[in-house]
C-alpha cells in the first residue's frame, strides 16, 4: 500500500475559499455564498493583477441549459516581456519589451449542475497520487511525458514555461489533431495534447479560482479533467466538492466512487471515502473487474462510467477490504 499526504492547505487565488475545510459537508446555498464572497474579494482586493467581470457570448451554446447567465472573471497581469497568440489556445514568445496576460476564470457553479437542495463533501486529492498514477485523461494525451517535462521546473514563470514548451515541442515532434472542428481544428504536439499553457501558469502562480464541482458522486474526476492534469506539474492538490445524492453509492459510512480508466493498463481507481472517520482508501481495478462493475466496453469511448452492478460492488468491496488498499490518503502529523 502507498500512502499519499495532503498539503494541509487550500490553493485558491483568494483566501475567502479557505473557509472550506476537508471532509466538511456544505449545502448548495452555502457554496454559492462562498463563491459570491470570493468573486467580490477578487474584484475589490489588493492583488498583483486586475480583475473584471465578463459574460459568456453565444459561442458557448452548452451554457444555455443553465438557468442563469453565466459569467466569470478576466484577470490581467502586466508582463515585462511580449508574446503573440498563435491561435485561440496557444501563445509563444516574441521580441516585444512588455505585454499583459489575460486569464479567464469561469464561475464553477455556472458551468456545473448544482441541484438545490444539495449536499457536497469537500475533498482534496494529493497531487503526488496523480503524478505517480495518472497516465491519461484526454484522448491521446501522454501525461507521463508532460509530467516529466516539469518535474524539476517551476510553472509560475510564464516566460520559462513558454521556453520549455518550445523545447519539448522540438524534442517530441509527433503531432495529432486537437480534436476540434473547423475553423478551430489544428495539430498539436502529442506530448501536451489537450493542455493549456495559461491554465498551467495561472494555477502555479495564483492558484485555483474555485474548487471543481462534481454534482454526481458516482463519477470521480469526470469534470475538471484539465485542472486534474495540471495539479502534478504545479504541485498543488486537486480541490473538489463531491455531490451526495439519493442515488450515491454508500456502504456503511463510506461513499464509493470510481474514475474513468485513466490509470496504467486502462485501470480505473475505486475510492472508499469515509466521511465520518475522514479517511480515504482505494484500489486500482483491471478491465475484467471494471467491466463487471460498470458494463463498460473497451476501448473506452470517453463516456461517463456508472456502477451498474450493486451486488457485485458489495462483494468486490468485501474482497478488497480483506486484501487491503492499494493506496490511502492521510494528513501529515
The pLDDT profile of the chain, 333 residues, written as one tens digit per residue, is 999 999 988 899 988 999 999 999 999 999 999 999 999 999 998 888 999 998 765 445 455 555 456 678 899 999 999 988 887 678 888 888 899 988 888 888 877 767 666 899 999 999 999 999 999 887 667 888 999 988 878 889 999 999 999 999 999 999 888 777 887 788 888 888 888 888 899 999 999 999 999 988 988 998 888 899 999 999 999 999 999 988 899 999 999 999 999 999 999 999 999 999 999 999 999 999 999 999 888 778 777 678 999 999 999 999 999 999 999 999 986
CA 33, CA 331: separation in Å to the nearest integer? 28
Neighbours of 65 (CB within 10 A): 7
Position 14 in a domain:
yes
Position 324 in a domain:
no
CA pseudo-torsion sign 9, 11, 12, 15? positive
Neighbours of 130 (CB within 10 A): 23
Structural domain of 185: 2-248
Q: Which of 78, 90, 138 is nearest to 302 (CA)?
A: 138
Position 270 in a domain:
no
Position 145 in a domain:
yes
Task: Report pLDDT for 133.
Answer: 96
Position 214 in a domain:
yes
CA 110, CA 113: separation in Å to the nearest integer? 8
* Most distant CA atoms of the chain, gap in Å: 64
Position 94 in a domain:
yes
Task: Report pLDDT for 56.
Answer: 66
DSSP 3-state of 145: helix
Task: Report pLDDT for 57.
Answer: 56
CA 270, CA 218: separation in Å to the nearest integer? 10
Position 108 in a domain:
yes
Task: Report pLDDT for 110.
Answer: 73
Q: Domains in the chain: how many in total? A: 1
Position 320 in a domain:
no
Rg of the chain over Cα atoms, rounded to whole angstroms, equals 20
DSSP 3-state of 122: strand
Task: Report pLDDT for 263.
Answer: 94
Instruction: Name 241's bridge partners.
Output: 122, 213
Task: Report pLDDT for 4.
Answer: 97
Distances (CA, A) of 56 to 53, 77, 104, 159, 275: 10, 21, 11, 29, 36
DSSP states along 268-295: EEEEEEETTTTEEEEEEE-HHHHHHHH-
Amino acid at each position: 500500500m502507498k500512502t499519499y499526504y495532503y498539503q494541509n492547505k487550500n490553493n485558491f487565488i483568494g483566501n475567502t475559499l479557505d473557509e472550506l475545510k476537508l471532509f466538511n459537508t456544505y449545502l448548495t446555498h452555502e457554496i454559492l455564498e462562498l463563491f459570491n464572497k470570493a468573486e467580490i474579494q477578487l474584484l475589490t482586493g489588493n492583488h498583483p493583477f486586475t480583475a473584471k467581470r465578463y459574460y459568456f457570448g453565444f459561442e458557448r451554446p452548452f451554457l444555455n441549459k443553465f438557468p442563469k447567465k453565466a459569467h466569470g472573471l478576466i484577470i490581467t497581469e502586466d508582463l515585462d516581456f511580449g508574446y503573440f497568440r498563435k491561435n485561440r489556445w496557444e501563445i509563444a514568445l516574441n521580441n516585444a519589451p512588455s505585454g499583459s496576460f489575460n486569464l479567464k476564470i469561469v464561475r464553477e457553479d455556472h458551468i456545473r449542475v448544482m441541484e438545490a437542495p444539495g449536499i457536497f463533501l469537500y475533498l482534496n486529492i494529493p497531487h503526488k497520487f496523480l503524478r505517480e498514477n495518472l497516465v491519461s485523461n484526454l484522448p491521446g494525451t501522454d501525461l507521463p511525458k508532460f509530467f516529466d517535462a516539469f518535474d524539476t521546473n517551476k510553472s509560475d514563470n510564464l516566460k520559462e514555461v513558454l521556453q520549455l514548451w518550445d523545447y519539448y515541442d522540438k524534442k517530441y515532434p509527433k503531432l495529432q489533431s486537437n480534436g476540434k472542428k473547423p475553423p478551430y481544428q489544428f495539430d498539436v504536439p502529442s506530448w501536451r495534447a489537450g493542455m493549456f499553457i495559461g491554465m498551467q501558469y495561472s494555477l502555479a502562480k495564483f492558484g485555483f479560482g474555485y474548487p471543481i464541482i462534481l454534482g454526481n458522486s458516482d463519477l470521480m474526476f469526470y469534470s475538471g479533467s484539465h485542472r486534474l492534469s495540471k495539479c502534478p506539474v504545479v504541485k498543488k492538490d486537486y480541490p473538489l466538492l463531491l455531490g451526495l445524492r439519493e442515488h450515491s453509492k454508500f456502504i456503511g459510512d463510506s461513499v464509493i466512487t470510481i474514475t474513468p480508466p485513466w490509470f496504467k493498463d486502462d485501470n480505473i481507481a475505486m475510492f472508499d471515502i469515509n466521511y465520518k472517520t475522514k479517511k480515504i482508501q482505494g484500489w486500482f481495478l483491471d478491465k475484467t473487474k471494471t467491466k463487471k462493475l460498470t458494463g463498460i466496453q473497451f476501448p473506452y469511448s470517453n463516456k461517463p462510467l456508472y456502477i451498474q452492478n450493486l451486488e457485485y460492488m458489495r462483494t468486490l468491496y468485501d474482497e478488497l477490504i480483506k486484501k487491503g488498499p492499494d493506496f490511502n490518503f492521510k494528513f501529515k502529523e
